[in-house]
Chains A and B, each alone.
Chain A
C-alpha cells in the first residue's frame, strides 16, 4: 500500500502537461525505426533475413545501452532433443544459490525484482502442502530443522496452459520442449500468469533495471536478452546455454548437486537414468500439465 502517493498535486499536474504534449509530438514524429518496431511481426513468422536484421539491430541497441559487446543468438531447436530436468528433493537445502545465479545469467530485473526460481520451504510433517509453504524464510542457516525445500520455476509442461491461453501465440513450446516468450509479440495481458499453476511467469511491472557491470551479454532472442517493461518472462532452461550444449546456470551453481539436466530422448542421459532408477514425481500432477521438470528422491 505504500504506493507513490503522487499524481494529485497541482505541481504534478503541471509537470504532466509537457509529457502529454511530448507524447503527441512523439506520436506524430515517430522515426522509421520506431515504426518498424511497432509493425514488427511475430518472430516465428519472420524470414531468415528479417530475423538477422532484427538481431543485428538489437545487438547494436544493447551494446550501446550497456557499454559492452552483446550477442543475441537465435539458435533454433535441434532435432532429437527434448530437454528434461530433475531436482533432488532429498538434497536441496534451500540455500537459494540457484535463484541468484539465474538472475545473473538471465538478466532478470534487479529493481523491480524478478526471480524466476521460487524456493518453497515446507514442513516435513505436512509433505508437499502449499498451505504451509513459505518463500520468505530467512534463518541464519539452512536447512532448518523439520523442513525441506522445493525450488519451483517453469515446469516446462508438455501440455502447457500458458501457451493455450495466450491470445497472440507470443508464448509457445519450441521443438525441444522449451516454452519461450517472444518479448516483442507479447501484449502483456497476463492471461498466461492466471493460467500457470506454478507461478512461473513473471511480469515486468516497471522498467527492468540491470547494472551495466552485471549484465550478461551472451543472450538468446527467446531467452535472456534484456526485456522491455510490460511483457511476461519465464525460465527457459537457460536456452542460450543449453542450445549450445552447456548445463543451465542453476545446475552449475547448486552446491548440493540437486539439479540434473539432460535430453529425455537420449536413453543414456542422466535424466533418463533418474527416471529409470529413482522414483519421481511431478508437481500438481492432477492438473495434467505433464511437466518435463521432475522432482525425485535421490536417497
Chain B
C-alpha cells in the first residue's frame, strides 16, 4: 500500500505522457495506443482468471464503447471493405495492421459485434483476445504464455498478473511510437 503512494510521482508522470505513450513491444513494433498498461482501466476492470493465469480486463478506451451491440444491434452490416467515415473514423485513420490485406471484419465478428472471430469462425470474447493475436503471432503467443513476452507482476513464485496483448499494443496499430525517457543521471563532476 505504502509502495503505491510512494510511487505517485512516477505514476503521474506516466499518466501525463499517456496520451502519447506508446509502449514498445517486440522487434519492430512501434505503435500508439491510448490506454497503456498502467492506465486506470486495468484497475477498474480487474483481472479475470483464465486457467491459472490472472489476466487484466480488456482496456476499452472510452466509457460506453462496450458492449458494441448497444449500437451495432440496430445497424445493418455492410460487409464491403471501405474507409469508415461516420463512426470509428479515428480507427480507420490510424489502422496499420496489415492494412493492405485486412480490415475490421477480419477480426470483429460481423453478426454479433460483442465478439471477436478467429479465422476458423470460432467466436472469442474480448477477454481472451490474446487467442486472436496468437493465430498469426504464434511465437509471441507461446512466449507470452510462459511469461517471456509481455509483463507479469505480482509474485515471482506465486500469483501473477498478466496483461493482454492489447494493453501494450493497440490492435489497430500495433507499432509503437517512441516515449520520453526519464532524466539522465547527474554527471559525476556535478555531484558535490
Contact = CB atoms under 8 A, between A and B. Distances in A.
A257 interface: yes
B146 A270 contact: yes
A68 to B, nearest CB: 8
A118 B186 CA distance: 11
B3 interface: yes
Interface string B1-14: 01100110110000
Contact of B7 (A104, A113, A256, A260): A104
A246 B150 contact: no
- Which applies to chain B's interface (DSSP): helix, strand, loop or mixed? loop
A140 B9 CA distance: 20
Interface stretch (B91-99, B103-111, B173-181): B173-181
Interface stretch (A20-28, A95-103, A159-167): A95-103
B51 interface: no
A7 interface: no
A93 B179 contact: yes
Nearest to B144: A257
A138 B181 contact: yes
Contacts of A269: 156
Contacts of A4: 192
Contacts of A142: 178-181
A257 B178 contact: no
B27 A270 contact: no
B68 to A, nearest CB: 29
Contacts of B156: 242, 245-247, 251, 261-263, 269-270
Given A97-B182, A256-B25, A263-B157, A3 B10 contact: no
B27 A257 contact: no
Interface in A77-106: 88, 90-91, 93-97, 99-101, 104-105
A74 to B, nearest CB: 20
Contacts of A143: 24, 178
Contacts of B186: 113
* A contact residues, range: 35 or more
Contacts of A3: 192
B147 A141 contact: no
B64 interface: no
Contacts of B7: 101, 104
Interface string A210-221: 000011111000
A112 B191 contact: yes
B152 A135 contact: no
Given A137-B184, A142-B178, A218-B3, 11 more contacts: A88-B148, A91-B25, A93-B178, A93-B179, A101-B7, A136-B184, A136-B185, A247-B156, A255-B36, A257-B25, A263-B157
24 contacts: A3-B192, A88-B148, A90-B27, A91-B26, A95-B180, A96-B181, A97-B182, A101-B7, A101-B10, A115-B185, A118-B185, A135-B185, A245-B156, A251-B151, A255-B24, A255-B36, A255-B38, A256-B24, A257-B150, A260-B147, A266-B157, A273-B148, A278-B148, A298-B143
